[in-house]
Structure 1
Amino acid sequence: MSNIKKVFTHTPVYFAVLAAVTCFFPAGTAGAKPSFNAAFLTDDLSDADVSDLSRFESGGYQPPGNYLVELSVNNDFVSSSEITFTELKNKEGEPYLFPCFSAETIMGFGVNIARPEELTEQDKQCFPFTEKIPGSEYHFDFQKQRLMLSFPQASLSGQARGYIPPDRWESGIPALFMNYFASGNNNSDNTSSYYVNLNSGFNLGAWQFRQSSSWNYNKSKNTSNSQWRSLMNYVQRPIIALKSQLVIGDGNSDGSVFDSAGFRGVRLFSVDNMYPDSQQGYAPTVRGMAKTDAKVVIRQNGYVIYQVYVPPGPFVINDLNPATSSGDLQVTVEEKDGTQQQYIVPYSTLPVLQREGRVKYDVMAGEFRSGNSNQDKPKFVQATLLAGLTRDISVYTGTQLADKYKSVLVGVGQNIGRFGAFSFDVTHANSELADGSNHSGQSFRFLYAKSLNTTGTTFQLLGYRYSTKGFYTLNDVAYKQMSGYEFAPDGEDGDDGKPIIINYHNLLYNKKGRFQVNISQSFDQYGSLYLSGNQQSYWNRSGKDEWYQAGYSNSWNGINYSVSLSTTKALEIKERDNMLSVNVSVPFSSFSSRNARSNDAFNNAYATFSATNNSGGREAYRVGVNGTLLEDRNLSYSVSQGHVSQQGYNGSAGLDYQGTYGDFGISYNYDPDQNQLNYRASGAVLLHENGFTFGQSINDTTVLVKAPGAAGVAVENYTGVKTDWRGYAIIPYASAYRNNRIALNPDSFNDNTEIKNNVQNVVPISGAVARATFDTSIGIRALLSLTHNGKPIRFGSMVQETGSQISSIADDDGRVYLTGLPLTGKLLVQWGNQPGDQCTADYDFTRQEIKGPLLRTALECK
């Protein structure tokens, strides 16, 4: 393959001019190869007046160079990238463009390359995949700037769908950040309260430090108190080779096997997000037999969730990503001769189920940390292991070890086909309580899930746990006394100055049996019904804690409505509390014409109504209006008026703004007892090598947009996020280990802003501050009339500003349109390959008045 000696980066303006040129050469014309006189492109110019355009004589030709394209592989989007295209010739000697990828990049797409060690150095740099891999092909849509690669199934390495090679995962940039949340209220009875929460962090490579603290202040009529607390401090980093995360410091253990427990120590655990979506959670392995080259289509609840082409013989599909947690899979094998095979693979799942071959672990050692002053801080070790076996069986086990507590758990789970999925485990524990007594007991847990497709019924979770009289948890053993009250932390006393009771424990009444249920029933267009609830019984006490809720919801012509009934019975309270609730939401758009603008304030407003009635005779009603304003719909408002029986009227009004530099809100509430003013602010400040950037609150993983000089540019799909006056912005949240498409909205560019490629792609690790850098040209837009020796420069001449490298092509009047042009610089004009086929023009527009968005002027090229 020939190497390209000179590479041009082509601008959108270049594509527009080139399209005008190439439209004279229709591609794919049958018959003899056409010959074209370039002078026909002008009215009365001689051949000498036209730049050398012989390279365009073949229909559909585009020059080699670097093109910014949307790249996809086998119909899966990969990234928006700058790809080098080299010029090759077909058997007829006609030139065409070939995308240049290194062999390593091709293998990164999940494609096998036979004997890569035998490749020449040239093939390693620009791998001829269409020659080396039979059946592979590509299509370059020049007008849409899309490059689509296609590789046959037989050449793929078996990587799961959505797989992103770890070498693309970014640790991000060194950065220091702080999230803040501040709120306060002032009441008409001269009481007030204020709260501040700070979450800060520092990233250096893959290491990440995190710190969380809070401050609260309460003022009543006679007293005031305040408290500053450090909540969590820890260091973390991913261990990519193990697909795991290491945490040193404060944290919480996983709650899928044992109850989650706070700790201060060290934890190493498997991270599901490091696997592609098609490998996360549980899904059955689909096996079958194809008689010919066949297409396998898998549907769930009527929707296609997987499609693949397979060769003759047995096939195994183990990278399914079901759309829901239950719903049988319908497999169709479409043979090459038109015949079909169809069969059902039943599917239901539970949290403990794992895919075949997957092993998931969690190990931690440290000090028990609950934040409860009534509990000690015993040192303990916890380890859990879950493994997916064949026949849709999963096994799991775990242990908790402390000085006064030892427990071990074993369990099994299985997708049992059309009967659903279940799991069963037993835990044995030996405990020493606060009074010195020793206890030994067991706890048995059963979980079940099933979806009945024919009736639309889903048993999302049906569970029961039974514990013997001598069974206690690690949380129970940590208590300093057999019984006692738990109070709110210091500084959070009630209005009367007394501590607030938030919990009560008595180890003599340990838990006995717990039943929980969550069932939903769909009626298609007629709405859906749900039932959920639980009940808990205790040893040495009669009665149970009970809570159940049933509800129905539906929509009609955009109007949403729901009704629910709940019943609650606490063990220490004799009477049962029943409550009926009705909610209705009506969009104002239901009363407007279909041609009304979608961003109109009227069409973005809703009227709401709610009513509740409980068994104590308390009735409450509320009507209100809420909606969004501004072009980006980032200003929300709400106004409501209500009435409560035996209390009187109440009301509220509020505004919330989600902007570039944070979120801000204010509201006013009143009732017969008092009036209250509430206010809040939240956001983040990020320190990086280019300075400080303010923005919305960061959610663990974030992206810093760097578009120097491009102020006020909106970021697509992130409400209220725009670049600051320097061209920087904080993307408040990003998906770890996933491709994140960061796009700047071209409609928000000002007249002096040009961005070479408004789309960047980043794949950050969890907790990273990734950076999306955009190549900006901040300058004027100019339509320049260039002359050389008293005549317009030749049609098709390449014009480039030597400093910024921006370029374009001259039209038949010697005019060239350039964007992002600096106020001073030098233009290089080339119309051929000979040394004399060029000239230069120096310019200085600093003293020239620019009227409107476009500068029009003439320059002489020498």
Structure 2
Amino acid sequence: MEKFIPSAFIRSLSALFILVCQSTCARDYYFPPSALEGEHLSQQDINLSLFSNPKAQLPGRYASSIIINKRKIDETTLNYVSAADGSLEPQLTPKQLRQWQIRVEAFPALAALPENVPLQQPIGHFIPAASAVFDFTTLSLVMSIPQSAVNQQSRGFIDASRWDDGVPVLFSDYAFSGTEQHDAQHNSTTRQYLNLRNGLNLSGWRLRHASTWSNSDDDQSWQTLNTWVQHDIDLLRAQFTAGESSTRGEVFDSMQYKGVNLVSDDEMLPWSQRGFAPVIRGIANTNAEVSVRQNGYLIYQASVAPGAFEINDLYATTNSGDLEVTIKEADGSEHRFTQPYASVAVMQRPGHLKYEVTTGRYRADNGQEANEPLFFQGSAIYGLTNSLTLYGGSTLSPDYLALNSGVGLSLGQLGSLSADVTWARAHLDNSETHQGQSWRLLYSGNIDSTGTSFTLAGYRYSTQGYYNFTDANLHYDDDNTAWQYQYNKRNRIQASISQSLPGFSLYLNGYQQDYWGSDNKERSLSAGISRVFNGISMHLAYTYSKNSDSGSDQMLSCSFSIPLSQWLPGSWASYNVNNSRHGNTSHNIGLNGTLLDDDRLSYSLQQSRTNHDGADNNSIYTGYRSQYASLNAGYYSASDDSRQVSYGISGAIVAHPHGVTLSQPPGNQFAIITANGAEGIRFQNQRGIQTDWFGNAIIPSLTPYQENTLRVDTASLPVDVDTGETALVVIPSRNAAVSATIDAHIGYRALIALHQKNGQPVPFGAIASVESPAQSGIVDDAGMLYLPGLAETTRLTVRWGNNSDQQCVANLILAEQTSSTRNLTGIRQVDALCQREPVNEK
């Protein structure tokens, strides 16, 4: 019985507590202001009801992310008014709803309203079951719209109205490299190379001019690659190009022209509706110079460190056309191979039409003796069903006619296969007329069950009388002895295959070409296998190449890479052994890594030894990405007293509405960031890029027609810079230079303790404002206020009511603050007296 009484008492007390809670929770929560500041605050005319209503926010204009049915649609600024419950209600117009793919016409009451006049009722009044709620914490307008009221769009869809054509710019994108080589006999050789890509953007038009300059022992030459002007055709999801360019090469072989071209652009489509510059891999024994030629033009040249290299940022002049790669070693030896380059298997989604129309004058390859007639070429690819695509086209000129017809088949999970035949009749330069056919088979896809990826596998067979348009326009006479003049192509097979195995990855790239009337063949093969085990990566590679009029070249390489992060952050040791066709074997050991906080400095130290009386050598190679350009330099020396110095710089000079900015190579699409003159603002995942002394920066290599999020690295902001913006979203059109602004505050950052004349802190909720730069903040419950971007002398106006005794002014002199008043983040701590401003009596 004694134990029962306390237990009963506790149960009774718990029941009473629950009843009190239910009574309390049943009504709106109210927090008296006097509980924060004392009874004196209740005597003042302060309305803090906004802070006690969790739904309420101040009405006005807010930057908003538009999210419809859990999918982001747009970024815009909207006006909001207070609803009956205190929440913010958006002011939407029928025009905006149409832009967001809402079927306004399906609702007569909504369709009858003026296009640009805000709705007077919530959207649910016009569209049953629809709602729009503004999430103030994320600045997102979350809309729920019945599926029947929304035009169905594919995943990744971005309306064309959001594509940004950018601002007017004039720029020069350059890449300069050079070598100074001294051989064992003390002979010196100087080589230099400059690639220029100049551009002008104005009102949606893009003008580009590409040229190269090369210098070898005072033998200088300029080459113009192309000049063209381009504009988006949004309605057709296509690009219009006029000038010197090249065709896509999807149905017919790609060729250069001087004329006009209209071609559909798949990147304008959502990523879920989209159906290739190649990646070039090779091996360098020393600090080598890699040159890439296409159609006879030198389109790429750069210095690389010893070991395996990969080129994945190629600016190709066409979308197909084999690439001739030359690796020139520091000792003067050269290795050559051909990188096959062609479009993948032809497949399109049902109902999707892909097309290209070109008319103009044919441009022969550089250094090639050929006719350059006027021509017309058209091609179309149409998706008939989920598994069937039809395509074809024609090429016409005074002495040439070609017709193509083909079919693409979907093989489901196995990928896609296309087959076509081209019939051509050509009247050659030697007055002979030939006609024949060329059969082509292409395959691309992934075999998930085996982990095999076929980037491209293809086979072409041409009859003896078949000539493509390029070969048909060559000058044929008795003096021509080159292969392309004497023999026309017969068989060609090419493949690019990668295979994943448990713990391993393999790749194989190769092609073979033979000719009618000859037993000689052109061959190129590169293969490799890689594995990473406990952080240690191993790579075995083999390359082989043979031209039709020269001998073969081959090399075998085995390499290891061991991370050293525990002892030296961002570094690794490497070892590789190479065996060449001549039987020479070289061993190379090196130390590689990156330095500085954003890894913008890279380095490579190498020591090599070669058998069979070969020269031992050592080298150093370094690269640095600054905000103004990307730089690299290397030094090589050998035991036979030969040596080489290599150097390079690449970047751009961009003139834009906010000034002139030096930058790293900008790529095709880039962003111009303006930060109100704030210097030193960095960006995440952008090595070496920061705003210059004018507050501008260039963010390179954006993706066209898609959202690109540029994030500010807030952890590295300068002590005199602050910003509330951490991310910017831009959607550039093709070749656009878009502008984005960071609302940065420059000046002192201060934590201010505001006191009134009577010694009491300024009341909680008071609004403190600065006129220049215009900004404001709210005083907390201890009278503390944080403001960034303040000048050395700053005047604060503080208000917590409408009466004269509910306002005061504080004058801050931040320059006089000593280091003891600054914390580790550079924020100055200030005590300030806020007193009433004197009133001048008449």
Shorter-chain TM-score tier: 0.7 to 0.9
Equivalent residue, structure 1, for 2:406: 411
- The separation in 1 between residues aligned to 2:739 and 2:119, in whole angstroms, is 27
Equivalent residue, structure 1, for 2:763: 794
Q: CA offset at residue 661 of structure 1? A: 0.4
- The separation in 2 between residues aligned to 1:406 and 1:831, in whole angstroms, is 84
Which secondary structure state, in structure 2, belongs to the residue aligned with residue 648 of structure 1?
Answer: coil
- The separation in 2 between residues aligned to 1:673 and 1:27, in whole angstroms, is 92
The 10-residue stretch of structure 1 (106-115 or 76-85) with the greater mean CA deviation from structure 2: 76-85
Question: For 1:261-307, what per-residue CA distance to the aligned partner results, in whole angstroms no more than 9, with x for missing partners?
Answer: 1111111111111111112119xxxxxxxxxxxxxxxxxxxxxxxxx
- The separation in 2 between residues aligned to 1:709 and 1:654, in whole angstroms, is 36
Question: For 1:67-93, what per-residue CA distance to the aligned partner results, in whole angstroms no more than 9, with x for missing partners?
Answer: 55665444444566655443223xxxx
Confirm or deny that 1:637 pairs with 2:637: no
Equivalent residue, structure 2, for 1:228: 222
Confirm or deny: 8 A CA contact 1:483 1:506 kept in the other structure. no
From the superposition, tell whether residues 801 and 577 of structure 1 become closer, same or farther in structure 2 (CA, over 3 Å).
closer
- The separation in 2 between residues aligned to 1:226 and 1:670, in whole angstroms, is 27
Corresponding letter in the other structure for 1:669:
Y
Confirm or deny: 8 A CA contact 2:169 2:202 kept in the other structure. yes
Corresponding letter in the other structure for 1:205:
S
Confirm or deny that 1:656 pairs with 2:656: no
Equivalent residue, structure 2, for 1:554: 531
Corresponding letter in the other structure for 2:399:
K
Which secondary structure state, in structure 2, belongs to the residue aligned with residue 159 of structure 1?
Answer: coil
Equivalent residue, structure 2, for 1:720: 688
Equivalent residue, structure 1, for 2:179: 185
Confirm or deny that 1:429 pairs with 2:424: yes
Equivalent residue, structure 2, for 1:479: 474
From the superposition, tell whether residues 454 and 243 of structure 1 become closer, same or farther in structure 2 (CA, over 3 Å).
closer
Q: 2:258 aligns with which of 264, 267, 278?
A: 264
Equivalent residue, structure 1, for 2:636: 669
Q: CA RMSD in A?
A: 3.1
From the superposition, tell whether residues 771 and 506 of structure 1 become closer, same or farther in structure 2 (CA, over 3 Å).
closer
- The separation in 2 between residues aligned to 1:158 and 1:562, in whole angstroms, is 48
Question: For 1:534-569, what per-residue CA distance to the aligned partner results, in whole angstroms no more than 9, with x for missing partners?
Answer: 322211112533344443222111222122345555
Equivalent residue, structure 2, for 1:831: 800
From the superposition, tell whether residues 213 and 453 of structure 1 become closer, same or farther in structure 2 (CA, over 3 Å).
closer
Equivalent residue, structure 2, for 1:239: 233
Equivalent residue, structure 2, for 1:603: 569
The 10-residue stretch of structure 1 (195-204 or 632-641) with the greater mean CA deviation from structure 2: 195-204
Q: CA offset at residue 425 of structure 1? A: 0.6
Confirm or deny that 1:854 pairs with 2:832: no
Corresponding letter in the other structure for 2:560:
V
Confirm or deny: 8 A CA contact 2:491 2:513 kept in the other structure. yes
Q: CA offset at residue 363 of structure 1? A: 1.1
Corresponding letter in the other structure for 2:678:
A
From the superposition, tell whether residues 97 and 216 of structure 1 become closer, same or farther in structure 2 (CA, over 3 Å).
same
- The separation in 1 between residues aligned to 2:31 and 2:558, in whole angstroms, is 76
Corresponding letter in the other structure for 1:213:
S
- The separation in 1 between residues aligned to 2:171 and 2:128, in whole angstroms, is 51
Confirm or deny: 8 A CA contact 2:345 2:417 kept in the other structure. no
From the superposition, tell whether residues 27 and 603 of structure 1 become closer, same or farther in structure 2 (CA, over 3 Å).
farther
Confirm or deny: 8 A CA contact 1:408 1:429 kept in the other structure. yes
From the superposition, tell whether residues 406 and 453 of structure 1 become closer, same or farther in structure 2 (CA, over 3 Å).
same
Corresponding letter in the other structure for 2:558:
V
Q: CA offset at residue 135 of structure 1? A: 4.6
Equivalent residue, structure 2, for 1:22: none
* Map 1:334-349 → 2, pairs under 5 A: none
Confirm or deny that 1:698 pairs with 2:666: yes
From the superposition, tell whether residues 619 and 751 of structure 1 become closer, same or farther in structure 2 (CA, over 3 Å).
closer
Q: CA offset at residue 472 of structure 1? A: 0.8
Which secondary structure state, in structure 1, belongs to the residue aligned with residue 685 of structure 2?
Answer: coil
- The separation in 2 between residues aligned to 1:233 and 1:379, in whole angstroms, is 18
- The separation in 2 between residues aligned to 1:693 and 1:417, in whole angstroms, is 49
Which secondary structure state, in structure 1, belongs to the residue aligned with residue 50 of structure 2?
Answer: helix
Q: CA offset at residue 418 of structure 1? A: 6.2
* Map 1:804-815 → 2, pairs under 5 A: 804-815=773-784
Corresponding letter in the other structure for 1:749:
L
Q: 1:516 aligns with which of 480, 486, 494?
A: 494
Confirm or deny: 8 A CA contact 1:706 1:774 kept in the other structure. yes
Equivalent residue, structure 2, for 1:109: 100
Confirm or deny: 8 A CA contact 1:381 1:402 kept in the other structure. yes
Q: CA offset at residue 764 of structure 1? A: 1.5
The 10-residue stretch of structure 1 (817-826 or 769-778) with the greater mean CA deviation from structure 2: 817-826
* Map 1:579-598 → 2, pairs under 5 A: 579-589=555-565, 592=566
From the superposition, tell whether residues 59 and 163 of structure 1 become closer, same or farther in structure 2 (CA, over 3 Å).
closer
From the superposition, tell whether residues 554 and 100 of structure 1 become closer, same or farther in structure 2 (CA, over 3 Å).
farther
From the superposition, tell whether residues 484 and 664 of structure 1 become closer, same or farther in structure 2 (CA, over 3 Å).
farther
- The separation in 2 between residues aligned to 1:791 and 1:74, in whole angstroms, is 51
- The separation in 2 between residues aligned to 1:120 and 1:367, in whole angstroms, is 51
Percent of residue pairs bearing the same amino acid type: 32
Which secondary structure state, in structure 2, belongs to the residue aligned with residue 95 of structure 1?
Answer: coil
- The separation in 1 between residues aligned to 2:649 and 2:503, in whole angstroms, is 42
The 10-residue stretch of structure 1 (711-720 or 770-779) with the greater mean CA deviation from structure 2: 770-779
From the superposition, tell whether residues 79 and 586 of structure 1 become closer, same or farther in structure 2 (CA, over 3 Å).
farther
Confirm or deny: 8 A CA contact 1:828 1:838 kept in the other structure. no
Confirm or deny: 8 A CA contact 1:466 1:513 kept in the other structure. yes
Corresponding letter in the other structure for 2:591:
V
Structure-1-length-normalised TM-score = 0.79
Which secondary structure state, in structure 2, belongs to the residue aligned with residue 860 of structure 1?
Answer: coil
Q: 2:208 aligns with which of 192, 207, 210?
A: 210
- The separation in 1 between residues aligned to 2:829 and 2:157, in whole angstroms, is 48
- The separation in 2 between residues aligned to 1:29 and 1:39, in whole angstroms, is 20
Q: CA offset at residue 720 of structure 1? A: 1.0
From the superposition, tell whether residues 445 and 161 of structure 1 become closer, same or farther in structure 2 (CA, over 3 Å).
same
Corresponding letter in the other structure for 1:108:
Q
Q: CA offset at residue 60 of structure 1? A: 5.6
> Across the two proteins, how many residue pairs are aligned to each other?
733
- The separation in 2 between residues aligned to 1:746 and 1:407, in whole angstroms, is 60
- The separation in 2 between residues aligned to 1:27 and 1:240, in whole angstroms, is 60
Confirm or deny: 8 A CA contact 2:810 2:833 kept in the other structure. no
- The separation in 1 between residues aligned to 2:120 and 2:627, in whole angstroms, is 43
Corresponding letter in the other structure for 1:633:
D
The 10-residue stretch of structure 1 (579-588 or 28-37) with the greater mean CA deviation from structure 2: 28-37
Q: CA offset at residue 210 of structure 1? A: 1.1
The 10-residue stretch of structure 1 (358-367 or 560-569) with the greater mean CA deviation from structure 2: 560-569
* Map 1:376-775 → 2, pairs under 5 A: 376-417=371-412, 420-449=415-444, 451-482=446-477, 504-523=482-501, 525-568=502-545, 570-572=547-549, 579-589=555-565, 592=566, 602-614=568-580, 616-646=582-612, 647-671=614-638, 672=640, 674-775=642-743
- The separation in 2 between residues aligned to 1:432 and 1:555, in whole angstroms, is 57
Confirm or deny: 8 A CA contact 1:795 1:814 kept in the other structure. yes
- The unaligned stretches of length 5 or more in structure 1 are 1-25, 283-348, 487-503, 593-600
Which secondary structure state, in structure 2, belongs to the residue aligned with residue 708 of structure 1?
Answer: coil
Equivalent residue, structure 1, for 2:332: none
- The separation in 2 between residues aligned to 1:46 and 1:269, in whole angstroms, is 71
Question: For 1:92-144, what per-residue CA distance to the aligned partner results, in whole angstroms no more than 9, with x for missing partners?
Answer: xx433334444433443333343332347897357733554445456665555
From the superposition, tell whether residues 565 and 697 of structure 1 become closer, same or farther in structure 2 (CA, over 3 Å).
closer
Question: For 1:323-370, what per-residue CA distance to the aligned partner results, in whole angstroms no more than 9, with x for missing partners?
Answer: xxxxxxxxxxxxxxxxxxxxxxxxxx9531011111111111122222
Question: For 1:413-449, what per-residue CA distance to the aligned partner results, in whole angstroms no more than 9, with x for missing partners?
Answer: 1114466532111111111223221111110111234
- The separation in 1 between residues aligned to 2:769 and 2:667, in whole angstroms, is 43
Which secondary structure state, in structure 2, belongs to the residue aligned with residue 105 of structure 1?
Answer: helix
Confirm or deny: 8 A CA contact 2:413 2:448 kept in the other structure. no
- The separation in 1 between residues aligned to 2:22 and 2:765, in whole angstroms, is 20
The 10-residue stretch of structure 1 (77-86 or 427-436) with the greater mean CA deviation from structure 2: 77-86
